[in-house]
Amino acid sequence: MKNIAFLIATSIMVLSCVPKNDKIIAIDVLLTPSEAMQAQSLQLNTLIHQNNPETIKLDKNHIPHITLLQCFINEKDLSKVNKAVEGLFETIKNDTIYTESLYYSRDTEESFAMIRHSRTKSIVDLHKKTIELVKPYMVKDGSQESFVQNPDGSEISDFTVDYVPAFVEKYSYENFDPHISLGVAHKVLLDSLSETVFKPIPFLPSSLAVYQLGDHGTAQKLLWTSE
């Protein structure tokens, strides 16, 4: 009996020393726009969503935002990531972000639309600094489970899963395109919105935040904010 008890105790000790699988999460380090720009983004998205109910819907759980970095990290490193980006907002909070256009393809019947912003030195520098600070914690092997799951139980799109680990290589530095995503709609509607609703207002960012990503690059779960 003593031998059996010893073996059981030893097994428990060995198992407790085996490292548990770290959960990997997909995050978006982002800027939230001013209230005026948020309101315009929500208005445009509502009209786009009425035209195409299958596209993304912006709301309090899918906030309008300007992505600085998307990547996978181990969830256990989240506090380190939050600490790394703490103070970054101070470098841009007084710098105006200039809105360029309601951008979409004029050559197709249907197009993805976004509010495009100017690549000012301050926002490009912030983008580069964000990558530099978070890079030590980035991992590549995320999966569908790394995202906030779709309420209807459908799978996270392959495009979304593949986009996140490619962000630094394919969509950063000289390819960095500061914008607010609005969704997909018919060009006829987008032409009308560009002429009658969209207003290229300059604004100050409201905060810098870290969100867990949902499907289609939506910022869904707030993990940390500079506010």
**Taking the chain (227 residues) in consecutive chunks of 10 residues, what is each chunk's mean pLDDT?**
44 43 92 97 97 94 96 98 97 97 95 98 98 97 96 94 97 98 97 96 97 96 95
Whether 144 is covered by a domain: the verdict is: yes
Whether 35 is covered by a domain: the verdict is: yes
Give the residue carrying structure tokens 């999460």. Answer: 25
Write the CATH number for 183. Answer: 3.90.1140.10
pLDDT digits (tens, 9 = 90+) for 64-90: 999 999 999 999 999 999 999 999 999
Whether 12 is covered by a domain: the verdict is: no
Whether 210 is covered by a domain: the verdict is: yes
The answer to whether the predicted template modeling score (pTM) of the entire model surpasses 0.85 is yes
Q: What is the domain count for the chain? A: 1
Position 21 scores a pLDDT of: 56
Which contacts (CB < 8 Å, 24+ apart) does range 124-132 have?
124/176, 125/91, 126/31, 126/68, 126/88, 126/91, 126/92, 127/68, 127/69, 127/172, 127/173, 127/176, 127/178, 128/173, 129/88, 129/91, 130/29, 130/68, 130/69, 130/85, 130/88, 131/69, 131/168, 131/172
Position 155 scores a pLDDT of: 96
Point out which residues pair with 210 in neighbouring strands: 29, 224
Whether 127 is covered by a domain: the verdict is: yes
Whether 37 is covered by a domain: the verdict is: yes
199 vs 101: CA distance, rounded Å: 8
Whether 5 is covered by a domain: the verdict is: no
The residue segments making up the domain with residue 86 are 22-225
Whether 6 is covered by a domain: the verdict is: no
Position 24 scores a pLDDT of: 98
Position 12 scores a pLDDT of: 43
